[in-house]
Every structure is written in C-alpha cells, then in structure tokens.
C-alpha cells in the first residue's frame, strides 16, 4: 500500500490504521511530500513506514517515488490510497482481487462505476464528465472516474510508472501513459468519503490551469503513442 | 533614429558588462552567459553599423529601421527564454529524480539499520 501525503496530520493516522485493520500484515508506505506538520510522526505512530522526500515534488513525483521503491523491493501489486481519508480501506481487497483475477495492469477504484452513496461537487462532476469524453476515443473504452487516486497496479505497470509518470495532476495522464504501452485497466465501484481533515490542493483558480495542463499532457502523450510512429519500410 | 541607436548601443554595452561581471562573480555559469554575450554583441554591431541594419530591414521587408531593431531584440530574447525553459525543464527532471533517489536510499539505510 502506498499513501502519498502532504500536510495530512489530521487524517493520515486514521488512514493507516484503517488499512492495517482491513489488511493485517500488509506493508503500508506513506510518502511524505515534505509536509510542514507532523504527518511523518503521526504516520509512524500509526504503524506505517515513511518515505520522506527531501523537498516538495508535487503529487506525481511523490507517487512515483513510492512506485520506484515498491518496484525495487520486488512487490507484485501496489495499491495507492490518498492520505486525506477519502478512500474506504474496505474497498482495497476488491481492487486487489480484480488486479489478480483480471490480469489487467491497473484497477481504478471508481466513484461513478456504481453510485453506492457517493457524492461529489458539481464542478468536479463536470470536470470528470469532460475528461471522460476526451479520453473515450483515446483509450478505446469508457472510463467512469479518470480522476480517481484510488488505484492498484501490477508489476508491469509499476515498472512503467517507475520510469515514466506524470508529475502534476497525474491520474488522467497516467491512463494515457498506460494506453501508450497497450496496457489494460478495469474499474471497481468504490465508496468515496469527504476528506477527513485538511483542504484540497485544487481550488477554483487552479481548476482552469488543471484542465489546460491535463489536456496538454494528454495531447503530448498521444503524440508519443508507439503505434502511431511512422515505421520505415523494410529494405528489400 | 541616431538617438535610438545610441540608446541601444549603451544598453548593449551595459548588458555585456553586467553579464561579464556576473560570470566573474560566479552568479552565472560561463556556458549560460554565451547566449547573452552573443545577443548583446549583435545588438552592439547593428547599432553601430546602420548600413547593416538597413540591409536587414530591406531583406525582411519591414517598413522602418527601429521596428527591425526592436523585432531583432524581441526575437533574440524569445530564443533565449525558450533555451532557458529547456534547461530549466531538464534541471527539474534531474532534481526530482535525485530527490526520489535520496529519499529511497535514506529509507533503505534506515531499514537496514533497523533489521
């Protein structure tokens, strides 16, 4: 389990404890993106190992550090849970099961795959609907919740993401990175709760920047598709 | 026109001096000062050789010489900003990879000490 966290001292303890209660014996790694509060102390006290970044890298750099370490330690499956407590630890076994049985490289815990009592803001719902529309032709199949940070990956995706992972707002771009390699993903309906403490890093002003940034990232990744490169004709 | 060329001459010389002093004081690495020095040298030459500037104006088909000088300066500035954006992007990527490696090594050292 990897849990990226930035200034989450109010929620990280509960997140780690709920994971450990749900999956006893599973290693929990909190990646601290140079928090200014006591995130590291609280996470360690709750029983997690902590990968402390020397300075702030942003969400993508933070998650990728966890993927790199997990890959080097030889893990077959890694599940990422956000450090703000929005994800229900009791959904983790279903994501892991889907990873193992489907053979796909990534499983997304999706808030829209089944309603399940999940609520989210209108702005976020509009953003998700927009990116679902953009991603549909690129991925060749619908994705219900492309912005979800509740994600499980197997070793093949771990290898890929250790080498190439979007640094800012990584969830949507990561799907396109995955598609570049013709890797597959599945979705599992999950409950999402309101964040347990702290505030989201994405505010109204950042939303426009987010859309432009992610669209550009998606576009650049589409240009890098290996299948679309011109292959020179074989010499006769 | 003469006044404008005198001003650009003074600015070019000022830029050259600032860059050279900055290199001497190690505020800029020599490899990053070259672009600035070339740009200021070109501006200086064009300011002191109106015939060359006039030839450039005719070549580019622009209506007047000050506009040619302005566009040349803006073009050089844009190229330099782009070059530095490329350098910054590489530095950021290297910096992130380095920070991740430091954190992973520190984690592994601490884990080794515990076991």
Express each pLDDT in A64-96 by its tens digit: 999 999 999 999 999 999 998 888 888 999 999
Instruction: Report the residue of chain B nearest A64, measured CA to CA.
Output: B100
Higher pLDDT, B53 or A62: A62
pLDDT of residue B68: 87
SS3 A174: helix
Asked if A53 lies within 8 A of B106 by C-beta distance, the reply is no
Adjacent-strand bridge partners of B22: none
pLDDT higher than 50, residue A231: no
pLDDT higher than 60, residue A118: no
pLDDT of residue A151: 94
Q: What are phi and psi of A145, to 5 degrees?
A: -135, 75
* Band of residue B64 on the pLDDT scale cut at 50, 70, 90: confident
Q: Quickly name the fold that domain A2-225 has.
A: Spore Coat Polysaccharide Biosynthesis Protein SpsA; Chain A (3.90.550)
Average pLDDT over residues B77-83: 90
ipTM, interface predicted TM-score of the complex: 0.82
Domain containing residue B18:
2-114
% of chain A surpassing 70 pLDDT: 86
Q: Quick one: which of A201, A167, A146, A168 has its CA closest to A8?
A: A201
pLDDT of residue B91: 94
Q: What are phi and psi of B110, to 5 degrees?
A: -65, -40
A117-121, A134-138, A158-162: range with lowest mean pLDDT: A117-121
Q: Residue A204 carries which DSSP code?
A: H
Residues of A in contact with B99 (CB under 8 A): 53-55, 57, 61, 65
Is B37 in contact with B16 (CB distance < 8 Å)? yes
pLDDT higher than 50, residue A236: no
pLDDT higher than 80, residue B19: yes
pLDDT higher than 70, residue A114: no
DSSP A20-79: HHHSTT---EEEE---SSSHHHHHHHTT-EEEE-SS--HHHHHHHHHHHHHHHTT-SEEE
CA of B96 vs chain A CAs: smallest distance (Å): 7
Q: How many domains does chain B have?
A: 1
* Integer Cα distance of A212 and A230 in angstroms: 28
Taking only the tens place, the pLDDT of each residue in A183-230 is 999 999 888 777 666 666 666 677 778 888 888 888 888 887 665 444
Asked if A57 lies within 8 A of B99 by C-beta distance, the reply is yes
DSSP chain B: -HHHHHHHHHHHHHHHHHHHHHHHTTSS-HHHHHHHHHHHHHHHHHHH-HHHHHHHHHHHT-S-HHHHHHHHHHHHHHHHHHHHHHHHHHHHHHHHHHHHHHHHHHHHHHHHHH-
SS3 A11: coil
Give the pair of three-digit tokens for residue A113: 């795959």
Strands (E), chain A: 2-5, 29-32, 49-52, 77-80, 106-110, 151-154, 185-189
Higher pLDDT, B112 or A200: B112
**Which residues, 6+ apart, have CB-to-CB distance to A3 below 8 Å?**
A12, A15, A16, A19, A28, A29, A30, A31, A43, A48, A80, A81, A82, A83
**Which residues, 6+ apart, have CB-to-CB distance to A214 below 8 Å?**
A131, A169, A172, A173
B111 touches chain A (CB under 8 A): yes
> pTM here?
0.81
Chains A and B: how many Cβ contacts under 8 Å? 33
Average pLDDT over residues A126-151: 87
Q: What integer best gives the mean pLDDT of chain A? A: 85
């Amino acid at each position: 389990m990897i849990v990226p966290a930035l200034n989450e001292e109010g929620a990280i303890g509960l997140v780690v404890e709920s994971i450990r209660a749900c999956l006893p014996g599973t290693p929990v790694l909190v990646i601290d993106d140079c928090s200014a509060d006591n995130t590291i102390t609280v996470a360690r006290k709750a029983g997690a190992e902590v990968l402390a970044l020397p300075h702030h890298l942003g969400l993508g750099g933070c998650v990728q550090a966890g993927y790199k370490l997990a890959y080097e330690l030889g893990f077959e499956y890694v599940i990422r849970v956000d450090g703000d407590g929005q994800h229900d630890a009791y959904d983790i076994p279903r994501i892991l099961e889907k990873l193992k049985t489907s053979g796909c490289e990534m499983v997304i815990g999706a808030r829209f795959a089944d309603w399940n009592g999940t609520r989210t803001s209108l702005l976020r719902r509009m953003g998700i609907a927009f990116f679902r529309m953009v991603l549909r032709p690129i991925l060749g199949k619908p994705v219900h919740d492309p912005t979800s940070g509740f994600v499980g990956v197997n070793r093949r995706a771990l290898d890929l993401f250790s080498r190439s992972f979007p640094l800012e707002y990584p969830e949507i771009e990561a799907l396109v990175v995955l598609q570049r390699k013709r890797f597959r993903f599945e979705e599992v309906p999950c409950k999402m709760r309101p964040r347990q403490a702290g505030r989201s890093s994405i505010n109204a002003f950042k939303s426009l920047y987010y859309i432009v940034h992610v669209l550009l990232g998606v576009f650049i990744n589409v240009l890098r598709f290996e299948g679309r490169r011109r292959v020179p004709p074989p010499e006769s | 026109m003469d006044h404008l060329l005198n001003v650009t001459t003074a600015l070019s010389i000022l830029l050259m001096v600032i860059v050279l002093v900055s290199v001497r004081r190690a505020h800029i690495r020599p490899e990053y000062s070259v672009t600035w020095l070339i740009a200021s040298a070109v501006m200086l030459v064009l300011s002191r050789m109106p015939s060359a500037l006039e030839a450039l104006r005719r070549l580019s088909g622009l209506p007047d010489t000050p506009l040619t000088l302005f566009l040349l300066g803006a073009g050089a500035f844009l190229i330099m900003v782009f070059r530095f954006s490329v350098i910054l992007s590489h530095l950021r990527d290297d910096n992130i990879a380095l920070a991740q490696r430091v954190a992973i090594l520190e984690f592994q050292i601490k884990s080794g000490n515990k076991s």
